Every structure is written in structure tokens, then in C-alpha cells.
Amino acid sequence: MSYMPVIGLEIHVQLSTRSKLFCPCSTDYIGAKPNTNVCPVCLGLPGSLPVLNGLALRYALRIALALRCQVHRRTRFHRKNYFYPDLPKAYQISQYDVPLGYDGMFELRLEDGMIRPIRIRRVHMEEDAGKLVHPTASGRIEGASHSLVDYNRSGVPLVEIVTEPDMNSPEEAREFVSALRQLVRFLGVSDGDMERGSLRVDANISTMLPDGRTSAKTEIKNLNSLRSLERALQHEFERQVRVIEGGGSVRRETRHWDDRAGRTMSMRSKEEVEDYRYFPEPDLLPLLISDDMISSTSAEMPELPWVLEGRLMSSYGLTLKEARTLGERRETATFFERVVAEGVSAERAYSWVTVELKGIANARGLEPWELGITPEGLASLAKMVDRGRISLLSAKDVLARMVETGRSAEEIVSELGLEQIGDEEALRGVALEVIAENQEAVSQFLAGKAGSLNFLVGQVMKRTRGKANPQLARAILEGLLEERRR
């Protein structure tokens, strides 16, 4: 046996409340002019005091409950003290000895359907810091003559989720983060966007030796996508193995992932660990979590991803893979269900939503439900194909036009005259012309090359500019050719 990575994650989830954790300022900082969503509280001005955002607490509780955590009924905030220009009070209000949730469990469902239990050590609330802006080409501090600070993000509510080191491969770590991202989206508590920083992951990794001993762990920072998480862990694991095989030992330290260079670099040694001088935040009262609050939060809990997937499989006969594709975002699944409710078969609806609509959405950087197409609109289009009124090919074109113009399928079809030629006589005429002009293909077909029929059907479609009903065209061509064979 060889080496095995042992991975634990610390994940910061930015909550999607409208106001900040301890003041009424807006949390909508992306694209906002620097230092416009600020007040004395989130600027840490002398004399200001925090007041807890009740909704943020509720959101955090939702996460804790969905991760099947125990909940501390009497919890509190601590101050984590350190100096940094983006931290306006020089302390972060966070939780320390009594986190909101602890001892949870997440069942990570791997692609093969196997379940890998990941233990959750703690779930706690804290406030975000501001952002340093370095006016250099790279945006990094190196070489900057000065730095600017934007406090729009200061005080935005975060939930930190810490797992036990229960993952044994970079893929598992990626799968876990992906599943967690899906979970917070389902819970409606975060947009879970890693690129925008709504979901931030720090990874701890150590290496288990063949003899069962484990190396010191390193912490990896700057993981801004699922891909960089997986790559960074792979590289770091390989580095640790090289160190061990070279007779050295892994140093306990924090390492920075350089996505472009594809490697991790030492940031600081854990020996020079900072003393945060935690103590209970005197400006906030201890927080009492009542039975009422727990039961009402449980009651408002939406359908969770794994429940939805099970239902998609049992109600619509989808495979696990299909259910997962559809259930990745709840909005997609809901869209699908509404298309089916309009009378489209599950199989067709699945393909319309996850292939056609998804394709158009991806090209625009949107999600299928964000295109302005309603499930009813898509269903009416799908039904036109089902009934043979238009070809699948033209239907795809119609869908693109629906997205572009916002008009209905019916309008577009009639305007473009896309209604299929289902008239046997008319098609027979076209087929005869095609046979007359493509003698070579005809001979090949008669000589036993069945594929030539497709070519001839294609010619019919071409002549009718796609309006021919392809099944009908094929049947007519086949009939005519069989006549020749005799």
C-alpha cells in the first residue's frame, strides 16, 4: 500500500441576508462604489455598537440543522483580536468556545452511489472583514506604493463550517464542497458562488504513511474554484509524498496556492502562530436558542438535495445521474417538474431542460430559469414536436428565437412557416425528385448500403428547408425504393 491524503476543510459561507451581521448596511458590495455601504458600526468607529441580525442567526441555524449538528442552546460571541487594516475594530466578532452548531454529519453521496460520511466539527457565525485594494497590475501587494481599503464587505455575515479530516482524496474534497454549495443554495441562505467569494475554502491536508502514521498537516489558502481546490490538494499531496520519500518531514505551515503556476508556496509557519486573545464579546448578550426557534427553523426547511433527487428518481423514473444533473439547482428541477406537469414526457422534458435550454443558458452565462422562458412556454414547444407539427431541428431554432425575442413558440412557428409538411402527396413529389437526382445513392441503397437512406432523407429535409416530417419522409422514400428493388 502507498500513501493516502487526509483532508479536512474549513468553509466560509457568505449569507445572503440583505443587511450586515451587526448593522443595517446593505450586503450588496459587488460592483458598489468603495466605502458606500458603510456606517459607524461596520467602520468600527469609536462608540459604535453591534446589534445582531436575527435573520442571519436563522440562516446559520438552518445550515447547522441541515448538517445535522447539535445546537448549543446558550451560545455567545467572542472577539478575535488581531491588527490588520481591513479589520476596522482590530477584532473580528466571531464564535469560539460555544459555536452555534457542533458534532454534525454530512452524507456525501459519491458518483457511484456510495455514501461517505463526513463529520462536521462545528458551524459558527462571524463577520467578514473589508478588502484591501492594491493599485498594482497584478492586484497583489508586492510592489504597491500604497494600498486602499474598501469596507463595503466589512460586517457581511459569514458562517464557518469546519469538517473533521474525513476526506481521503482531492476528488472527495471537491465533491464535498460541491455538495455543500448545493446545500446552501437549496437552503436559500447563500448564492454559494466561489468565484465571487461567497463560498471560500481553506483545506488542511496531511499524508498517511503506509505504516499508518500521519504527517504534520498544512493549510492551503487561496482556493477560488472547485478546480483549484482539487488541483491544489493533488499538488500538495504529491509534494508531501516527495518530502516524506526524500527522508524529510512535512512542516506544519500555511501554504498559498498559486493557480497559474500550479503549486503551493509557504506563507507562514504555524510555530509563529498568532495569539488572538479571544474573550467573550461584552457588547452582545449571550444568545439563547429556544425550542421554538429550532422547531420553526426546522419547519421552514426546504426540500433538501438528496430528498429531491430521490423524488425525481421515483416520480419521473430518472436515473441517479439524471436526477443529480437536474437536482444540482433546485430551480432547474422545479422548472423540469412544471414542464412535465404541462403534459410533456419526463424523458423529453429532461432533454429539453438539461440539453437545449441549458446549452443556451451556458452560452449566456445564465441558468436555464433565467432566460425568460417559462416552463409552460417550453412545454408548448415540446408538444409541437411530439405532435409532429414541427421538426425537432426547427424546434431548436424556435427555442433560440423565443429566448431572443421573448415571443411565444406559436407566434414564431407561424411567422416563419415552420409547420412541417405532413402531407403525404406533397412529400412523395419531393421524394421522387430526390431519387431522380441522386441515382448514385439510390444504387448504393439498393446494393445493401442502408446508410444511404439517411442521405436521401437529408436531401428531402434540405429541399423542404427542414419542414418535412422526417419520419414520414423516411417512410415514403423507403416505399419508393422498395418498389424499385422489385
Partner 1 sequence: MVVDLLGMSAASIASAVRRKEVSPVEVAEAFLGRIRAFDGRVRALLFVDEEGVLRRARELEARVARGEAEGLLLGVPVVVKDNICTKGIPTTCGSRILEGWRPPYDATVVEMLLAEGALIVGKANMDEFAMGSSTEYSAFGPTRNPHDLARVPGGSSGGSAAAVASLFCPISLGSDTGGSIRQPAAFCGVYGLKPTYGVVSRYGLVAFASSLDQIGPFARFAEDLCLAMRAIGREDPRDSTSIRRGRPRFDGLSPRPLKGLRVGLVREISDFRLDEAVESALEGAIRRLEGEGASFVEVSLPHLEHALPCYYIVAPAEASSNLARYDGVRYGPSADAPSVEDLFRTVRGRGFGAEVKRRIMIGTFVLSSGYYDAYYLTAQKARTLVASDFDRAFSACDLILMPTSPTLPFRFGERTSDPISMYLSDVFTIPVNLAGICGLSFNAGYSGEGLPVGLQLIGGWGRDDLLLEVALSLEELFGVPRPAPLGGELS
Q: Which is nearer to partner 1, 51 or 265 (CB)?
A: 51
Q: Which is nearer to partner 1, 282 or 417 (CB)?
A: 282
- Tell me the window of 42-50, 229-237, 308-316, 400-408 that interacts with partner 1 (CB under 8 A): 42-50
CB of 25 to partner 1, least distance (A): 13
Q: Which residues contact 116 (CB under 8 A, 6 or more apart)?
A: 107, 108, 109, 110, 166, 167, 172
Rule CB under 8 A: choose which of 18, 30, 40, 424 binds partner 1.
40
Strand segments, DSSP code E, in 260-327 are 263-269, 279-280, 287-288
CB of 257 to partner 1, least distance (A): 23
Q: Which is nearer to partner 1, 43 or 294 (CB)?
A: 43
Number of Cα atoms under 13 Å in the Cβ half of residue 381: 31
Q: Confirm or reject binding of residue 302 to partner 1 (CB under 8 A).
A: no
Q: Confirm or reject binding of residue 43 to partner 1 (CB under 8 A).
A: yes
Q: Confirm or reject binding of residue 268 to partner 1 (CB under 8 A).
A: no
CB of 82 to partner 1, least distance (A): 9
- Tell me the window of 77-85, 256-264, 342-350, 450-458 that interacts with partner 1 (CB under 8 A): 77-85
- Tell me the window of 11-19, 48-56, 299-307, 465-473 that interacts with partner 1 (CB under 8 A): 48-56
Q: Confirm or reject binding of residue 131 to partner 1 (CB under 8 A).
A: no
CB of 35 to partner 1, least distance (A): 10
Backbone torsions φ then ψ of 78, nearest 5 degrees: -120, 165
| Per rule CB under 8 A, count of chain residues that contact partner 1 | 29
Q: Confirm or reject binding of residue 282 to partner 1 (CB under 8 A).
A: yes
Q: Confirm or reject binding of residue 426 to partner 1 (CB under 8 A).
A: no
Q: How far apart, in whole angstroms, are the C-alpha atoms of residue 476 and residue 466?
A: 16
Name the CA dihedral angle for 52, 54, 58, 63, rounded to a multiple of 10 degrees. Answer: -30
Task: Please choose, from the candidates 172, 187, 192, 13, the residue with its C-alpha nearest in 3D space to the C-alpha of residue 108.
Answer: 172
Task: Please choose, from the candidates 56, 51, 57, the residue with its C-alpha nearest in 3D space to the C-alpha of residue 23.
Answer: 51
Our CA angle for 45, 50, 53, nearest 5°, is 135
Across 224-250, b (16+ Cβ under 10 Å) vs e yields bebebbbbbbbbbbebbbeebeeeeeb
Q: Which residues contact 314 (CB under 8 A, 6 or more apart)?
A: none
Q: Confirm or reject binding of residue 285 to partner 1 (CB under 8 A).
A: yes
Task: Please choose, from the candidates 14, 8, 31, 7, the residue with its C-alpha nearest in 3D space to the C-alpha of residue 200.
Answer: 14
* Three-state DSSP state, 82: coil
Rule CB under 8 A: choose which of 3, 26, 34, 48 binds partner 1.
48
Q: Confirm or reject binding of residue 91 to partner 1 (CB under 8 A).
A: yes
CB of 91 to partner 1, least distance (A): 5
The C-alpha cell at 240 is 508531501
Q: Confirm or reject binding of residue 148 to partner 1 (CB under 8 A).
A: no
Q: Which is nearer to partner 1, 79 or 121 (CB)?
A: 79
Q: Confirm or reject binding of residue 89 to partner 1 (CB under 8 A).
A: yes
Q: Confirm or reject binding of residue 275 to partner 1 (CB under 8 A).
A: yes
Judge residue 271's burial from the number of C-beta atoms within 10 Å of its C-beta, 0-12 exposed, 13-18 middle, 19 or more buried.
exposed
Amino acid identity for residue 429 in this structure: G
Q: Confirm or reject binding of residue 272 to partner 1 (CB under 8 A).
A: no
* Three-state DSSP state, 467: coil
- Tell me the window of 45-53, 59-67, 243-251, 429-437 that interacts with partner 1 (CB under 8 A): 45-53
Q: Confirm or reject binding of residue 155 to partner 1 (CB under 8 A).
A: no
Rule CB under 8 A: choose which of 6, 32, 58, 81 binds partner 1.
81
Q: Confirm or reject binding of residue 79 to partner 1 (CB under 8 A).
A: yes
With beta carbons less than 8 A apart as the criterion, state whether 74 and 287 touch.
Answer: yes
Q: Confirm or reject binding of residue 51 to partner 1 (CB under 8 A).
A: yes
Q: Confirm or reject binding of residue 157 to partner 1 (CB under 8 A).
A: no
Q: What is the CA radius of gyration of the chain?
A: 30
With beta carbons less than 8 A apart as the criterion, state whether 146 and 135 touch.
Answer: yes
CB of 256 to partner 1, least distance (A): 18
Q: Confirm or reject binding of residue 50 to partner 1 (CB under 8 A).
A: yes
Q: Confirm or reject binding of residue 283 to partner 1 (CB under 8 A).
A: yes
Q: Confirm or reject binding of residue 288 to partner 1 (CB under 8 A).
A: no
Our CA angle for 356, 358, 364, nearest 5°, is 115
Q: Which is nearer to partner 1, 268 or 277 (CB)?
A: 277
Q: Which is nearer to partner 1, 32 or 39 (CB)?
A: 39
Site residues for partner 1 per CB under 8 A: 40, 43-52, 79, 81, 83-85, 88-91, 149, 275, 277-279, 282-285
